[in-house]
Amino acid sequence: MTGFGRGESSSNGYQITVEVKTLNSRYLDISIRMPQSLQHHEFSLKEIVQEKLSRGKVHVNINIEETSAVRPDIIFNEKMVRLYSKMLEQVKFVANIQQPVQMSDLLQFDGLFEKQKDDEEEIKIIWNCACEALDEAISNLNDMRAKEGEELKIDLIYQVNGIAEMLDTVNELSAKRLPEMREKLQNRIKNLVNDDKIDPDRMDMEVVLLVDKMDINEEIIRLQSHLKFFLETLVNNSPVGRRLNFLCQEINRELNTIGSKANDSAISHHIVVGKEKLEQIREQVQNIE
C-alpha cells in the first residue's frame, strides 16, 4: 500500500529526521539513504523495517543535522603544525629572512588538517535517535495506510457481496434448469435411436451421468466458502495481502468452472459480471499488505 510517514528525534546537538515512503509491490523491497556515519547500521535498519512492514517498495531517507554545539568534523594536526613551523623558522634563518612566519605560509603544506575520528559515544547517540525517528516515521506511515485500508475494505466487501448475490441468482437458475435439461436430453436420445432398441434403464442412467457432468452445485458451494473466508480474512489484523491474492485465484477458478460446465447463456452472462467484479477485487488486493 502507498503511504508516507515522518519522524524526528534529537539529542546532544544532533537532529535526526527520517522519512519513509511506500509504493505498491507484491514483495518487500527496502532501500535506505543515510549519512556515512550510519552506513554500518544498514542491515539493522532494514531489520527494523521488516519487523513492521511485510510488503511494498519501501524508501527510507535519514538526514542528520548538527547544531553549533557539536564539535567540528575537521581538526588540525598539532604535531604537523609544529614540525612545519619549526622547519620554516630554520629556512628563514638560513635564508636570512627577517619577516615572521605567517599563517599563509603554513597553509601551503598538506596534512595540517584531518577528519576527526568518530566518537563512539556520539555514534551511539546518533544511532539511538535514528531508531526513535524511524519508529515514529513507520508508526505515522501505518496510521496513514490503515485509513486507506479501511476505505479499501469497504469497497472489497461491496464487490464480494456482489459476487455472492450473483451466485445466488446462478444457483436459482441452475436448480430450475436441471429438470428441463433432463427432459431435453431424453428427447434428443429418442430422436437419435430406434425406440424399439432403447433400454429405458440404460437411457436414464446415461441421462443422469450427463446431467451430473453439467451440475454446478459443488462449484457453487466451494465458491461460497471462498467468499466467506475472504470476508473473514478482511477483518484480520495481521498482514493478509498474500492470502487474499490466493483466494482471488481460487474464486476465479470456480467461476471459470461454473461458466464452462453450466453451458447456459443466462448463467454465462452472470458469470461474466462476477469476473468483472473479481478483477476489480484483484487490483485492490495488490495494494493490501
- Which cell is 142 given? 501505518
**pLDDT tens digits for range 118-176:** 567 788 888 999 999 999 999 999 899 888 888 888 999 999 999 999 999 988 887 77
* Residue 281: how many other CB atoms lie within 10 Å: 22
Least confident of 194-198, 200-204, 223-227: 194-198
Mean pLDDT value of segment 8-31: 88
Spatial separation of the C-alpha atoms in residues 164 and 63, rounded to whole Å: 50
Give residue 225's pLDDT: 93
* Mean confidence (pLDDT) of the chain: 83
Nearest to 70, CA basis, from 131, 125, 114, 7: 125
- The CATH label, of 1.20.120, 3.40.1350, 2.60.120, 2.60.40, for the domain at 147-285 is 1.20.120
CATH superfamily of 3-70+120-144: GHMP Kinase, N-terminal domain (3.30.230.70)
Higher pLDDT among residues 280 and 77, named by residue: 280
Under the banding of pLDDT at 50, 70 and 90, the label for residue 196 is low
CB-CB contact of 276 with 162 (8 Å)? no
What pTM, to 2 d.p., does this model score?
0.60
Spatial separation of the C-alpha atoms in residues 47 and 30, rounded to whole Å: 10
Give residue 275's pLDDT: 92
Give residue 31's pLDDT: 93
Up-side HSE of residue 229: CA atoms within 13 Å toward CB?
15
CB-CB contact of 186 with 169 (8 Å)? no
- Identical fold for domains 3-70+120-144 and 147-285, yes or no, is no
Spatial separation of the C-alpha atoms in residues 93 and 195, rounded to whole Å: 137
Up-side HSE of residue 193: CA atoms within 13 Å toward CB?
12
**Percent of the chain topping pLDDT 70:** 82
Domain boundaries, the chain: 3-70+120-144, 74-115, 147-285
The torsion region of residue 155 among left (phi > 0), alpha (psi -120 to 50) and beta comes to alpha
Give residue 273's pLDDT: 92
Under the banding of pLDDT at 50, 70 and 90, the label for residue 277 is very high
State yes or no: pLDDT of 186 exceeds 70.
no
Give residue 3's pLDDT: 87
Give residue 255's pLDDT: 92
**pLDDT tens digits for range 53-95:** 888 899 999 998 876 555 556 777 788 888 888 888 888 888 8
Identity of the amino acid at 122: E
